[in-house]
Structure 1
Amino acid sequence: MRTSALGLLAATAALAIAASTAHAADLPGRYSPAPAYNALPVFTWTGFYAGLNAGYGWNVGDSRYYDPAFRNGKRSGGFVGGVQAGYNYQFGMFVGGLETDLQYAAVGNKGASYGTTYYPGDSDGFFGTIRARAGVAVDRALVYGTGGFAYGDIGGNRGYDTLLGYHSGDEINWGWTLGGGVEYAITNNFTAKVEGLYVDLDTKDNYTLGGRVNVDRDAEFGVLRAGVNYKFN
């Protein structure tokens, strides 16, 4: 009798433990599941872009005696502004690309001079560049150098010069440019930059005797400008 009672008690206890274990398995866990991880998109400089810029240009040449654009006593600097467009390609931390821009430039009077006589022209001009860019990206900041081909109608293009002859109209001159800058991605699409350029345009051959006299009439000027770009995805 006692043996039967003990067996019944043991069986009851086993059933209770099994039921308790099953119930515990149905209860929610004490720890929440690990949250899903959504990685933020990594910014890249790769892509096409276009934008606007504005700044200041000034004479940096040392042969201005016969140069009408930056002669002493005349305006030697002024507003520069325009548009730019280009393409970047990023590989690792390095960025390479091409950029072209077209600028209005009021950097000097376009006329002619000889000795103390000045034959004024107008102060409006333009220039453009086609440049390679190469730099290093640190997160959203890009530090780069740039250089390439330049063209424009800036100085030494109008009026009468008693030494070099007569030239009656505007002409596009050719040259080169070199510079650098810093650009920062404010968002994935908008960037802002500060850039400096040195531009050298050969203007001496615009005059009848320019090649024979070999007077250096290059329009040499610096440009400091700020700009914004929209980067296309």
Structure 2
Amino acid sequence: MRKLALAASLALGLVGGSAFAAGVPSLNAPIIVPPPVFSWTGLYGGVNIGYGFGNNNQDPGGLVYERFLCCIVPGSAWSIPDDPRGVLGGGQAGYNHQFNPWLVVGIEADTQATDVHSQGNGINGAPGVGAIGTGPHFAFASQNKSVDWFGTVRGRIGVTIPNLPNLLLYGTGGLAYGGVVQSVNVSDFFPELPGVIVGAGTNYDKTKVGWTAGGGVEWFPAPAHSLFHAFSIKLEYLYTDLGPTTLYGTSILVLTSPPGPGPTFFYSQTSPTRWHTVRMGVNWHFNPFAPDPVIAKY
């Protein structure tokens, strides 16, 4: 009898416990989906606008004369201030690959239209050469120069900031090329020969190739799930050098009175093509190579 009562008590306890458990909600923790890991890897494209300015160079030039009848005309030299400045803007495209949480390596190409130009004048006199000379003369030279467009193909290497994976500091450098237009005009005056003016002019319009280097900072300002999460803004500096140009010319007789042969000179004008660029831009990023997200099933 005692064993029968014990078995009945155990059965009643099991039934009551099951009923109680069925009425109590589950205490399992909710499933938390971690936020996606931020990555710079992928393609991008965008636009930029900025300002270009030069080094305020002094471009050297000079002329030499061939012998004029029985007279000797000494040569002369001058320098022309060259300080190019102007607005520029264009577009860029590139690819980044993030190798670890802090290292990002990429490549970028851009094309710019520019209003970077300069204009300058130089003047210098040369003394006479005694009895067989023509007396002193004064050479006047003017130069107009512009970079109508340029482009670059550059590597980029950058590092992210601790606790700010959406902020990138980078250095960049590579190939540069651009369209350079230059014109030089030279006139020479002889105070002791008031009827003689000699002049020359040369034009240059070619594509030149050089190098560029600089650095910048790029930042994704919008939260990961916002409408503008794929857009970044950047501030960038570049120094560009397309090398020097040297123009050569031979004079023509502009004016002589009384009519007759005049002196002939040969001149050269050398000018570097280099400038600084500060620009800001906006990029849209996308990664067609990213794997599709995995959706859990329960």
> TM-score scaled by structure 1?
0.78
Say if 2:169 is the partner of 1:129.
no
**RMSD of aligned alpha carbons:** 3.1
* Gap regions ≥5 residues in structure 2: 62-79, 125-139, 189-199, 223-228, 250-266, 288-298
Say if 2:95 is the partner of 1:87.
yes
Conservation of the 8 A alpha-carbon contact between 1:61 and 1:221? no
Say if 2:131 is the partner of 1:77.
no
Conservation of the 8 A alpha-carbon contact between 1:132 and 1:146? yes
Q: How far is 1:144 from its partner?
A: 0.5
The residue number in structure 2 matching 1:36 is 31
Q: How far is 1:131 from its partner?
A: 1.0
Q: How far is 1:122 from its partner?
A: 7.1
Which one has a bigger Cα radius of gyration?
2
Conservation of the 8 A alpha-carbon contact between 1:61 and 1:220? no
Given candidates 6, 22, 32, the residue that maps to 1:26 is 22
Q: How far is 1:28 from its partner?
A: 2.5
The residue number in structure 2 matching 1:144 is 170
Say if 2:213 is the partner of 1:208.
no
Amino acid aligned to 1:219:
T
The residue number in structure 1 matching 2:212 is 177
The residue number in structure 2 matching 1:108 is 117
The residue number in structure 2 matching 1:191 is 232
Q: How far is 1:168 from its partner?
A: 2.6
Q: How far is 1:204 from its partner?
A: 1.6
CA 1:122 to 1:214, structure 2 compared with 1: closer, same or farther past 3 Å?
Answer: closer
Q: How far is 1:61 from its partner?
A: 4.9
Deviations 1:59-112 (A, max 9, x none): 12533466xxxx65x874221111111111110121111111111221223x67
Q: How far is 1:228 from its partner?
A: 0.5
Separation (CA, whole Å) in 2 of partners of 1:193 and 1:182: 6
Deviations 1:14-42 (A, max 9, x none): 443232122123222463x2111212221
CA 1:180 to 1:124, structure 2 compared with 1: closer, same or farther past 3 Å?
Answer: closer
The percent identity for this pair of structures is 33
* Gap regions ≥5 residues in structure 1: none
The residue number in structure 1 matching 2:183 is 158
Q: Secondary structure at the match of 1:201?
A: strand
